[in-house]
A and B are shown apart, each in its own frame.
Chain A
Amino acid sequence: MWETRDARAEALAFADVWNVAGPILLDETGDYAAALGITGVPTNVLVDARGIVRAVGAVTPAELEQAVRELLSE
Chain B
Amino acid sequence: MTGNLPPRPSGPACRAERAHTVVAEPRLGAGPEAVAVDTAARRAYVACSRDDAVVAVDLDRCVPVWRAGVGREPIPVVLDLPSRRLFTADARSDTVTVLDADTAVRVAQIPVGKDAYPAGLGHDPARRRIFCGNTAAGTITAIDADRLEVIGTIPAELGAGSIAVDGERGRGYCANFMSASLTVFDTETLRPLGRIAVGEGPCKTVVNPVTDQLYVAGSLHSTVLRLSLATGRPLDEVRVERAPVGMCVAPDGSRLYVCNRGAGTVSVVDAVGGTETHRVTVGNGPGDCQIDAASGRLLVSNAGSGTLTVVDRPWLPGAERPPVHAAVGKRVPEFALVDARTGEVRTTREWAEKRYLINFFASW
Q: A3-B362, A42-B360, A42-B361 are in contact. Are A26 and B338 (CB under 8 A)?
A: yes
Considering the chains assembled together, what is the distance between the CA atoms of A53 and B346 in angstroms? 19
Q: Per a CB cutoff under 8 Å, which of B220, B243, B327, B352 touches A53?
A: B327
CB of B255, distance to nearest CB on chain A (Å): 22
Residues in chain B near residue A54, CB distance under 8 A: 328
Q: A42-B360, A59-B222 are in contact. Are A8 and B340 (CB under 8 A)?
A: yes
Interface SS, B side:
loop
A66 interface residue per 8 A CB criterion: no
The reply to whether B332 and A24 contact each other, CB–CB distance below 8 Å, is no
CB of B33, distance to nearest CB on chain A (Å): 13
Nearest A residue to B282 by beta-carbon distance?
A39
Residues in chain B near residue A37, CB distance under 8 A: 325-327
Count of residues in A whose CB is under 8 Å from the partner chain: 51
Q: 1/0 per position for B301-344, CB-CB distance to A under 8 A?
A: 00010000000000000000000011111111101011111000
The reply to whether B263 and A72 contact each other, CB–CB distance below 8 Å, is no
Q: A56-B327, A59-B222 are in contact. Are A48 and B355 (CB under 8 A)?
A: yes
Q: Per a CB cutoff under 8 Å, which of A3, A35, A39, A45 touches B363?
A: A3
Considering the chains assembled together, what is the distance between the CA atoms of A56 and B363 in angstroms? 20
The reply to whether B358 and A47 contact each other, CB–CB distance below 8 Å, is yes
CB of A32, distance to nearest CB on chain B (Å): 5
Q: Per a CB cutoff under 8 Å, which of B243, B260, B262, B355 touches A47?
A: B355
The reply to whether B361 and A32 contact each other, CB–CB distance below 8 Å, is no
Considering the chains assembled together, what is the distance between the CA atoms of A42 and B260 in angstroms? 10
The reply to whether B243 and A59 contact each other, CB–CB distance below 8 Å, is yes
Q: A25-B339, A60-B220 are in contact. Are A39 and B304 (CB under 8 A)?
A: yes
The reply to whether B337 and A32 contact each other, CB–CB distance below 8 Å, is yes
Residues in chain B near residue A39, CB distance under 8 A: 263-265, 284-285, 304
Residues in chain A near residue B286, CB distance under 8 A: 40
The reply to whether B355 and A41 contact each other, CB–CB distance below 8 Å, is no
In the complex, 5 of the A-B residue pairs with CB atoms within 8 angstroms, ordered by the A residue number, are A14-B361, A32-B335, A45-B358, A53-B325, A56-B328
State the B residues within 8 Å of A (CB): 30, 50, 220-222, 242-243, 260-265, 284-286, 304, 325-333, 335, 337-341, 346, 348, 351-364
State the A residues within 8 Å of B (CB): 1-5, 7-8, 10-15, 20, 23-28, 30, 32-33, 35-49, 51-57, 59-61, 68, 71-72
